[in-house]
Amino acid sequence: MAADNGGNNTTSEPEMSDSLKTFGAVLKALRDEAGLTQEEFAPQVQYSAAYIAKIEQGRRFPPRDLIGRSEGVLGPTAARVLAAAARSLTRKAGLASWFRQWAGIEEEAVSLYAYESSVVPGLLQPEPYIREIFERRLPPLTEEQFENQVAARLARQQLLTERPNTTFSFIIEQALLERQFGGVDVTKALYDHLLEQGCHRNVEIQVVPLRQEDHSGFEGPMYLAETADNRWVGYVEAHDASMLITDPKSVSAMLQRYGKMRSQALGRQATTSLIEQMRGAL
């Protein structure tokens, strides 16, 4: 899934979000009102000055704990103002326009399935992995585009914790974990992140072993979502093309293939054990 994984479509670059810019401007005004520089404010909220600068520029999605940490520094009134500004934020900031339809479906889904054979699904990527993905983007991104896309991906990942009643199922090829994309440190971060996310009751991660004679995923990566009215839609991408699939027969075929792959992949506990072994072997 290009927008979810590497962003292969180059015809429509992500846009800066007005709501992110507004939040950043509000934070800067409140910080200035308190008579604090970024270098003075940042350590008091346990972030770097560079990170705070990017938030104030509208280039990074503010972490959830920023408002709570800011209250002790800027005061309760400022914290309420920040909270009000945060309510206007959209996690779609930084997403390419052609991807936003699926992103909207993803946000409201009651079930979300993903199978990947080329790169770890974006919803499961730790920040170091995300940055390595966009470092390799061709044509290269500007610094602003780079940070904007990283911020958008991190923001979308909040779905895993903000929607505890949504069922998330991920099937990943073991080859992706063996590849050590980005190097050993990035791979360690990936293993740790997968183990952490797999602990959530609503998140199931399964790995397809390297040797699997019966494998139904040969037609490529796919994503499926069950909407609030219990309809299923599919989504696929390849390089510069993407397609939302709503035809019931086509979606049914995708569901059949996905169901078959779930039976062919390692179970939840076996997947956890495999990742732990791979982590220990690094």
Q: Render pLDDT for 98-156 as a digit per residue (tens, 0 to 9).
A: 566 787 788 889 999 999 999 999 999 999 999 999 999 988 988 878 887 888 888 88
Separate counts of helices (H) and strands (E) for the chain = 14, 6
How deeply is 54 buried, as exposed, middle or buried, from its count of CB atoms within 10 A (0-12, 13-18, 19+)?
A: buried
DSSP class per residue in 85-126: HHTT--TTTT--GGGHHHHHHHHH-SEEEEEESSS--GGG--
> Is there a cis peptide before residue 221, judged by omega within 30 degrees of 0?
no
Reduced to 3 states, what is the DSSP secondary structure of residue 169? strand
Q: Is the pLDDT of residue 5 over 70?
A: no
- Residues 100 and 186: their CA atoms lie apart, in Å, by 28
Closest CA to 233 of 217, 212, 249, 221: 249
- List Cα–Cα distances, 215 to 1, 126, 256, 261, 264, in angstroms: 20, 28, 13, 7, 7
Amino acid at 107: E
Provide the token pair at 198. Answer: 């797999």
> Tokens 């993803």 identify what position?
106
Q: Is the pLDDT of residue 165 over 90?
A: yes
Provide the token pair at 166. Answer: 């949504």
Reduced to 3 states, what is the DSSP secondary structure of residue 165? coil
Other CB atoms closer than 10 Å to residue 247's CB: what's the count? Answer: 10
DSSP class per residue in 39-74: HHHHHHTTS-HHHHHHHHTT-SPPPTTHHHHHHHHH
Q: Is the dihedral of CA 99, 104, 107, 112 positive or negative?
A: negative
How deeply is 156 buried, as exposed, middle or buried, from its count of CB atoms within 10 A (0-12, 13-18, 19+)?
A: buried
Q: Is the pLDDT of residue 1 over 50?
A: no
Q: Is the pLDDT of residue 27 over 70?
A: yes
In the chain, where are the structural domains located? 2-8+96-281, 18-86
**Least confident stretch, 52-56, 58-62, 141-145, 176-180:** 58-62
CATH of domain 2-8+96-281: 3.30.870
Closest CA to 126 of 205, 188, 214, 53: 188
How much of the chain exceeds pLDDT 90, in percent? 61
2-8+96-281 shares its CATH topology with 18-86:
no
Beta bridge partners of 238: 241
CATH of domain 18-86: 1.10.260.40
